[in-house]
Amino acid sequence: MTTRRILDLLRTGQPEESVTIQGWVRTKREQKEFCFVEVNDGSSMAGLQTILSQDLPDYEAIVKKLNTGASVEMAGVLAASPAKGQRIELQVASVTVYGEADPETYPLQKKRHSFEFLRDIAHLRARTNTLGAVFRVRNACATAVHQFFQERGFLWVHTPIISANDCEGAGELFTVTTMNLKDVPKTKEQEIDYSQDFFGRRAFLTVSGQLEAEIMAMAFTNVYTFGPTFRAENSNTSRHLAEFWMIEPEMAFCDLIGNMDLAEAFLKHIFKSVLEACPEDMQFFNDRIDNTVMVTAENIINNEFERITYTEAIALLEKADRKFEYPVSWGLDLQSEHERYLAEEKFKKPLIVTDYPTAIKAFYMRLNEDGKTVRAMDILAPKIGEIVGGSQREERLDVLERRIEELGMPKEELWWYLDLRRFGTVPHAGFGLGFERVVQFMTGMTNIRDVIPFPRTPLSADF
């Protein structure tokens, strides 16, 4: 007999003559003549209520084994339930206990555990209500990402994880090496001699797939990456991981307007899809984690995003009837408090800020006619601040070369990037968004470590 997913049984809610389920015991309540056992298989937040009656062969011995965490297979009659809050329950005819879980030592007993505590037992925490809901939402969100782009004919491209270019010269790199660390080869100048390393040059874990995505967009028109990204940032914040997943679409024959339109449609699509795919989990987050989760999602789905320039944003911030911790003036980057003021108080919905000063943005962004701003865009959302960062890219060879020289960047190393402007260059644009930030935003989880199964952060790479 095939085993059934508990989610499917609960959604249908219909009695059936004969059903088999498998899963882990969440709770056990012993009565005089019965024992109620809730079994969860991870397919949904709610488990299936099962009832074992005394008539069951070996009743006492079996019930003794059915402690929280034990793994079981149960078969029986799925019957209409007299109890409140559930339509069906399993009247158990046979039980197999695969593995017991000792109640004295199994760490996940019924009481509420702090997220900090659960991080230390990341090998077990996926069995809790909250983390279970997080990882189901994360899956729905990833599915929605692919669905959105695939429906629009974007090619999913796999950009390298080991890379020799550090995209924005951002620092924060993890070096990949096979050199003997006890005896590192040195050059005459006493520098580390990477020419003797595995790749014959210094290599890193990638911080972004954008430049490679640009290469692919110059052949396939519309592409996207969705893969792991690494930053050795020693900032212990609730929004930064050393290993996170990034989504980076790149579109040829596309300007900043097209880029903004796509990003807005994209965010609306993933919120809508997740609400449809995981209604119970989303309701749980709204009830138990952050009671603004639903309104925030509706806000994204139903409102047209506001669009203003950086210069307009600065003017609004200067006029704001409140004091900011960080200074506001044309030329300075927007801080989180500024972004949140604009999104949460001024517009009360997501907004897209465009045309930032050249000096605070990356070298590849397209220079505007005014000579002092670039075709950049950031999407700022209530409760979270920056969620998307993107730009129209500089497609003019001479302008790009000038920028690279001004910044003192190693032009020779970017020869292939410049070739894209030499051979069949086109206006193109794209954006990047941190996948965990979206999941965080969607679920209201305050710490980014709790939206990825196995977080990598400074001094922590367990599991």
Q: Does 338 bind ligand ATP (CB under 6 A)?
A: no
| Separation CA 28–CA 67 (nearest Å) | 7
Q: Which is nearer to ligand ATP, 378 or 395 (CB)?
A: 378
Closest approach of Cβ 358 to ligand ATP, in Å? Answer: 16
Q: Which is nearer to ligand ATP, 233 or 337 (CB)?
A: 233
Is residue 398 within 8 Å of 271, Cβ to Cβ? no
Identified binder of ligand ATP from the candidate list 212, 264, 436, 450, rule CB under 6 A = 436
Is residue 394 within 8 Å of 367, Cβ to Cβ? yes
| Separation CA 7–CA 44 (nearest Å) | 5
Closest approach of Cβ 267 to ligand ATP, in Å? Answer: 12
Q: Which is nearer to ligand ATP, 41 or 436 (CB)?
A: 436
b/e burial code for range 263-275 (CB count within 10 A of at least 16 → b): bbebbbbbbbbbb
Q: Which is nearer to ligand ATP, 148 or 244 (CB)?
A: 244
Q: C-alpha dihedral over 213, 215, 218, 222, to 10 degrees? A: -10
Closest approach of Cβ 235 to ligand ATP, in Å? Answer: 8
The Cα-based distances of 94 to 20, 38, 49, 171, 366 in angstroms read: 9, 15, 15, 60, 68
Identified binder of ligand ATP from the candidate list 433, 442, 445, 451, rule CB under 6 A = 433
Is residue 46 within 8 Å of 74, Cβ to Cβ? no
**DSSP per-residue codes, 114-149:** -HHHHHHTTTTGGGSHHHHHHHHHHHHHHHHHHHHH
Sheet of strand 385-393: strand arrangement = 155-156, 222-230, 243-252, 428-434, 385-393, 373-381, 351-357, 306-309
Q: Does 231 bind ligand ATP (CB under 6 A)?
A: yes
Tokens read off for 242: 């050393």
Q: Which is nearer to ligand ATP, 80 or 461 (CB)?
A: 461
Which helix (H) or strand (E) segment is 399 a member of? Answer: helix 397-406
Q: Does 432 bind ligand ATP (CB under 6 A)?
A: yes
The amino acid present at 307, given as its one-letter code, is R
> How many other CB atoms are found less than 10 A from the CB of residue 421?
19
Q: Does 267 bind ligand ATP (CB under 6 A)?
A: no
Binders of ligand ATP: how many residues, by CB under 6 A?
A: 14
Residues 373 to 392 in contact with ligand ATP, rule: CB under 6 A: 386, 389
Closest approach of Cβ 213 to ligand ATP, in Å? Answer: 13
Closest approach of Cβ 211 to ligand ATP, in Å? Answer: 13
Q: Does 138 bind ligand ATP (CB under 6 A)?
A: no
Closest approach of Cβ 251 to ligand ATP, in Å? Answer: 17
| Separation CA 409–CA 34 (nearest Å) | 74
* Burial class for 204, CB neighbours closer than 10 Å (0-12, 13-18, 19+): buried
Closest approach of Cβ 452 to ligand ATP, in Å? Answer: 9
Q: Does 233 bind ligand ATP (CB under 6 A)?
A: yes
Is residue 12 within 8 Å of 4, Cβ to Cβ? no
Q: Which one of the spans 36-44, 273-281, 307-315, 432-440 is the region binding ligand ATP (CB under 6 A)?
A: 432-440
Q: Which one of the spans 33-41, 131-139, 232-240, 412-420 is the region binding ligand ATP (CB under 6 A)?
A: 232-240
Is residue 297 within 8 Å of 279, Cβ to Cβ? no
| Separation CA 173–CA 156 (nearest Å) | 25
Q: Which is nearer to ligand ATP, 76 or 385 (CB)?
A: 385
Closest approach of Cβ 218 to ligand ATP, in Å? Answer: 21
Closest approach of Cβ 284 to ligand ATP, in Å? Answer: 24
Q: Which is nearer to ligand ATP, 284 or 363 (CB)?
A: 363
Identified binder of ligand ATP from the candidate list 127, 349, 437, 449, rule CB under 6 A = 437
Q: Which is nearer to ligand ATP, 284 or 305 (CB)?
A: 305
Q: Which is nearer to ligand ATP, 240 or 428 (CB)?
A: 240
Q: Which is nearer to ligand ATP, 241 or 342 (CB)?
A: 241
Residues 236 to 255 in contact with ligand ATP, rule: CB under 6 A: 239-241, 244, 246
List the one residue out of 220, 210, 208, 212 whose CA is nearest residue 252: 220
List the one residue out of 119, 289, 122, 4 whose CA is nearest residue 281: 289
Closest approach of Cβ 239 to ligand ATP, in Å? Answer: 6
Identified binder of ligand ATP from the candidate list 132, 434, 444, 455, rule CB under 6 A = 434
Closest approach of Cβ 243 to ligand ATP, in Å? Answer: 8
Binding residues (CB under 6 A) for ligand ATP: these are: 231, 233, 239-241, 244, 246, 386, 389, 432-434, 436-437
